Amino acid sequence: MNTIDYIYRFDPNNPSAKPLPHDADVARRILEDGNRMFSRWMESCRNRTPSDGEPRYVVPCNGLEVGMTRTYGEMPRQSPFAVVVGCSDARVPTEMLFGQGFNDLFVIRVAGNVLGDVCMGSVDFALNALSESVRVVVMLGHSGCGAVTGAVDAYLRPQKFWSRSLSPMLRSLVQRIFVAVREGANGLKESWGPEAREMPGYREALIETAVCINAAQAAFDLRQEVERNGKWEIEVLYGVHNIRTHQVCMPVDPNAVRGDENVRLAQAPTNPSEFHSLAIRMAEILRADRRDTRPEPAV
Ligand SMILES: [Zn+2]
């Protein structure tokens, strides 16, 4: 097997390449385009034929922002264009999957991408101390999230919540996800019918639905925080990273094949009623998936 290159490229003839996006819309497009390129590169690594040559992925780098300052010892100024709150899951490397490098993203990672007080304090810091450069705040969930899976399992079998493997601290994290799980369960019941819980694939569907709603609810919270800080020019977005295709989408079909058109960061909800609409949308997507992959049970 030949080598696969992931390259950070600094061009000394153009040391100031990669200017800050001038508004939130441009910032969103940079993140979406970066993810399209990254997911395309990942697919080419998997599918390439010998004639394709060696797959390469190049991230342009502004040398002045990685420590190559004009005066030795001078500290580069922090100037990220996006704040990203994501899960700690090791399969979701934030900068890589958005095709970004040094000094581009202010990243906060916590299991289940839940917003505790300390996490929100980091967001507040970025909104105020880095307001000159920050254009967007992004809430990023991911498919197959272990924290959401733990919340779903405790919801379906409450005695699991009290298992010794869940410490009090871990329980408090899981509790923050329960509302999203309940919203997801309501959506599945409404879309699939009253027997939804007994249907094949229910647990997996509830996990993926809750992942999306958990991200949406956290984005709703983030939007309120951004507005409380009076940062009206900063947009709040959210998406879910599909760890099978490496694409960030909203809503996400966890079984979709990779396609550039799937990549999308959505605007944060402005009304809690949007959580229910999203739950129904996810229930429909996941029901369609089941029909595609499994024969309908005989009645
Ligand atoms: Zn996770």
Domains of the chain in sequence order:
79-293 (3.40.1050.10)
Percent of the chain with pLDDT over 70: 88
Crossing angle of the two packed helices 202-228 and 146-156, in degrees rounded to 10:
120
Q: Indicate if the pLDDT at residue 53 is higher than 80.
A: no
Contact 149, 207 (CB under 8 A): yes
**Cα separation of 21 and 248, whole Å?**
20
Residue 299, pLDDT above cutoff 80: no
CA of 148 to the centre of ligand 1 (A): 7
Q: How far is the CA of 46 from the centre of ligand 1 (A)?
A: 24
Query: What tens digit of pLDDT does each residue of 128-158 get?
Result: 999 999 999 999 999 999 999 999 999 999 9
Distance 140 CA to ligand 1 centre (A): 10
**Neighbouring residues of 285: CB distance < 8 A, sequence distance ≥ 6:** 251, 253
- Per-residue confidence (pLDDT) for residue 14, from 0 to 100: 72
The pLDDT score that the predictor gives to residue 5 is 77
pLDDT at 201: 93
DSSP three-state, residue 148: helix
Span 12-40, average pLDDT: 88
pLDDT in tens, 280-290: 999 999 986 56
Q: Rounded to the nearest whole angstrom, what is the distance from the C-alpha of residue 75 to the centroid of ligand 1?
A: 34
pLDDT-derived band at 19 (thresholds 50, 70, 90) equals confident
**3-state DSSP call for residue 186?**
helix
- Cα 93 to ligand 1 centre (Å): 12
Start-to-end CA span in the chain (Å): 50
Give CB contacts under 8 A, 24+ apart, made by 290-296.
Answer: 290/200, 290/201, 290/205, 292/255, 293/255, 294/200, 294/201
Give the tens place of pLDDT for each residue, 158-193: 998 888 888 888 899 999 999 999 999 999 999 999
Q: Give dist(CA 278, CA 6) in Å, integer.
A: 35
93 has pLDDT over 60: yes
Q: Give me the residues near ligand 1 (ion), CB cutoff below 5 Å.
A: 87, 89, 145
Q: How far is the CA of 210 from the centre of ligand 1 (A)?
A: 12
Question: What's residue 290's pLDDT?
Answer: 60
Average predicted confidence (pLDDT) for the chain: 89
For position 92, what pLDDT does the model report? Answer: 95
Contact call for residues 80 and 130 (beta carbons, < 8 A)? yes
Q: Who contacts 129 (Cβ-Cβ below 8 Å, separation ≥6)?
A: none
Alpha helices in the chain, H assignment, sequence order: 24-47, 94-97, 117-129, 146-156, 168-175, 178-192, 202-228, 273-293
What pLDDT sits at residue 298? 42
